[in-house]
Copies of this chain bind each other. A is one copy, B any other.
Amino acid sequence: MPDVSPAAASQLSAVLDHVDADFDNSLERLFALLRIKSISADPAFAADCRLAAEHLARDIGSLGFKAEVRPTDGLPAIIARLEAPEPGAPHVLFYGHYDVQPVDPLDLWKRPPFEPVVTDHADGRMIIVARGAEDDKGQLMTFVEACRAWKSVTGKLPINVTFLIEGEEEIGSKNFGPFLKKHKAELAADFIVVCDTGMWDPETPAITTSLRGLVYDEVRIKAANRDLHSGVFGGGAQNPIRVLTKILGALHDDNGRITIPGFYDGVKDLPPDILAQWQKLNLSAETFLKPIGLSVPAGEKDRLLIEQISSRPTCDINGIVGGYTGEGSKTVIAAEASAKVSFRLVEGQDPEKIRAAFRQFVTSRLPADCKAAFTDHAGAPAIALDWGMKPLAAARRALTEEWGRDAVLIGSGASIPIVADFKRTLGLDSLLIGFGLDDDNIHSPNEKYDLRSFHKGIRSWARILAAFTAAPRG
């Protein structure tokens, strides 16, 4: 089978030239999207989220799609179907998300997070800086711009595409599962393509074939019926911050292992061949941790760093707050304290069992007079994708051509919970390709996307769309 269908191959070169020639406009279109404050976690930005959805639907609509903003039980999603699909051509469902993470702490941003700029990185790379520059506005626009280039040059796309863009990925996609079920018929396709992952390193493209799952829980511990003066009551009254720190401080043992009973049940060691491949990748603390100011891997001491961050389950306290946190001092014993705690899961772990085990861990340690209340923020199992998928081989060849280096197959430590729903609800496999780098500061101040990631990302998709013409059916 040829790498690309003859018709597509003859057009690809002109399409790539168009990508290069039109790149400044691509950037302007990305900036317009980045300026919209579509923070899904904070209800204060609900109108901005809707604005982002409408903006994207309008833009995708201009490429020959019937693009509609559709309600969910939360923030709206977009479904965009081709007005004139090619009968018999391969059909890809592209998934991305327009919502972004909150921006706090705002004072650590060098520039306002919703005023995108292209600037020099310290090492001379040109970067796009804004909240969402990478995750996921920059990434999803690489695919949109590749479609636009094909449309501009040839008048149509080389394969059939449906867009599915959601607005609650950063808060667990709670309303998206039901949405998929409801619109299943419209979302028929051969397989799914997602652009929300990273490269192996700045020179080496990657396809992600496993994703960790996620359980995100919030615990609030209450003791007295009001805040107390620590002089009057100190020593006699239970302090919920003391209780919370004692419980959370016991979540890891001295070897970095998580102490919740049953937490590792069902977790398997890597198959020897994968472990051997990963050992060859030779991820060192020097490479991975030094750029973020660290030097010693903090996970299980008897595991490789690459295992700690991609194939082993984790527990992180993502936020904690209680008592007086303002300027100066206040001698208060707070009535309550709370923490947000999340777990990255691997194959074999059941999210709801892990959540129950965590809650049991907390409640079994509560002293007299304390109550714990929990809030479920997200839960999704880990995903292992099919390494044998035909489009995977096609995409891998296209990536290798664009970047001049073999694309590698990797496991990601992050979670894209919706990928499990795609399989469960739509019966479709997903292909995860993205151009993010480890130093993109996603979820952090000064999020960036390399200008090269954006440019070569568009070119990569232009090639992959052509490659799919010869590898039609998953």
Whether the pair B308, A235 counts as a contact (CB closer than 8 A) is yes
Convert A190-230 into 0s and 1s, putting 1 for each residue whose CB lies closer than 8 angstroms to a CB of B.
Answer: 00000000100000000000001010101000011111111
- Distance from A67 Cβ to chain B, minimum over Cβ atoms (Å): 27
A319: B residues at CB distance < 8 A:
241, 322-325, 330, 332, 334
User: Measured between alpha carbons, how far is A127 from B300 in the docked complex, in Å?
Assistant: 57
Contact residues in B for A120 (Cβ distance below 8 Å): none
- Flag whether A14 is at the interface (Cβ < 8 A): no
CA–CA, A410 to B91, complex, Å?
82
Interface residue from B239, B249, B334 paired with A245 (Cβ < 8 Å): B249
Determine the distance from Cα of A314 to Cα of B234 in the docked complex, in whole angstroms.
6
A130 an interface residue at 8 Å Cβ cutoff?
no
A227 to chain B, nearest CB (A): 4
Cβ-defined partner of A442 (8 Å) among B42, B104, B229, B244: B229
Contact of A331 among B250, B312, B337, B443 (CB under 8 A): B443
* Residue A305 interfacial (CB < 8 Å): yes
Is A26 in contact with chain B by the CB < 8 A criterion? no
**Is the CB of A271 closer than 8 A to any CB of chain B?**
no
The answer to whether A230 touches B327, judged by C-beta atoms less than 8 angstroms apart, is no
Q: A227-B443, A227-B444, A443-B227 are in contact. Are A327 and B412 (CB under 8 A)?
A: no
**Closest residue on chain B to residue A377 by CB atoms:** B329
In the complex the two chains form, is B236's CB within 8 Å of A289's CB?
yes
Q: Which residues of B contact A139 (CB under 8 A)?
A: none
A232→B438 contact, CB < 8 A: yes
Complex: A101 Cα to B41 Cα, angstroms = 32
- Min Cβ gap A415→B in Å is 6
Determine the chain B residues whose CB is within 8 A of the CB of A312 once the complex forms.
235
* Contact status A321-B321, CB under 8 Å: yes
CA distance A251 to B242 in the complex (A): 8
The yes or no answer to A349 lying at the interface (CB within 8 A) is: no
A378 at the interface (CB under 8 A from B): yes
Asked if residues B43 and A239 are in contact (CB atoms below 8 Å), the reply is no
* With A236-B309, A316-B242 as contacts: A231 and B294 at CB distance below 8 Å: no
Q: Is the interface of A mostly helix, strand, loop or mixed?
A: loop
Chain B residue with Cβ nearest A303? B235
Q: Cα distance A244–B329 when bound, in Å?
A: 19
Chain B nearest CB, measured from A368 CB (Å): 4
Q: Is A326 part of the binding interface, using a Cβ–Cβ cutoff of 8 Å? A: yes
Residues in B neighbouring A40, C-beta threshold 8 A? 328
Most buried by B among A367, A443, A445: A443
A312-363 contacts to B, CB under 8 A, are: 312-314, 316-334, 337, 339-340, 342, 344
Contact between chains at A444 and B229 (CB < 8 Å): yes
Which chain B residue shows the least CB distance to A324?
B319
In the complex, A408 has a CB within 8 A of chain B: no
The answer to whether A226 and B340 touch (CB under 8 A), given A248-B245, A308-B235, A317-B239, is no
When distances are taken between beta carbons in the complex, the residues of chain B under 8 Å from A298 are: 235-239, 367, 369
Q: Decide if B41 touches A326 in the complex (CB within 8 Å).
A: yes
Within 8 Å by CB of A316, from B198, B328, B333, lies B333
A469 to B82, CA, bound (A): 98
Residues of B within 8 Å of A241, CB to CB, are 248, 317-320, 339
Any B CB within 8 A of the CB of A268: no
A90 within 8 Å of B by Cβ? no
The reply to whether the CB of A288 lies closer than 8 angstroms to some CB of chain B is yes
Chain B residue numbers with a CB within 8 Å of A232 are 198, 309, 413-414, 438, 442
Q: Does A460 contact B (CB under 8 A)?
A: no
Interface residue ranges, A against B (CB under 8 Å): 40-43, 101-102, 104-105, 108, 170-172, 198, 212, 214, 216, 218, 223-239, 241-242, 244-252, 288-289, 292-300, 305, 308-309, 312-314, 316-334, 337, 339-340, 342, 344, 367-369, 377-378, 412-415, 438, 441-446
A–B complex contacts, Cβ < 8 Å, 30 sampled: A41-B326, A41-B329, A104-B324, A224-B293, A227-B441, A227-B444, A229-B442, A230-B342, A231-B412, A235-B344, A236-B297, A236-B298, A236-B299, A236-B309, A238-B298, A241-B339, A242-B248, A245-B248, A245-B317, A249-B249, A295-B368, A296-B368, A318-B323, A320-B323, A320-B325, A321-B321, A324-B340, A325-B340, A329-B342, A331-B342
* 4 cross-chain pairs, A with B, having the tightest CB-CB distances, nearest first: A231-B414, A249-B249, A225-B293, A319-B323
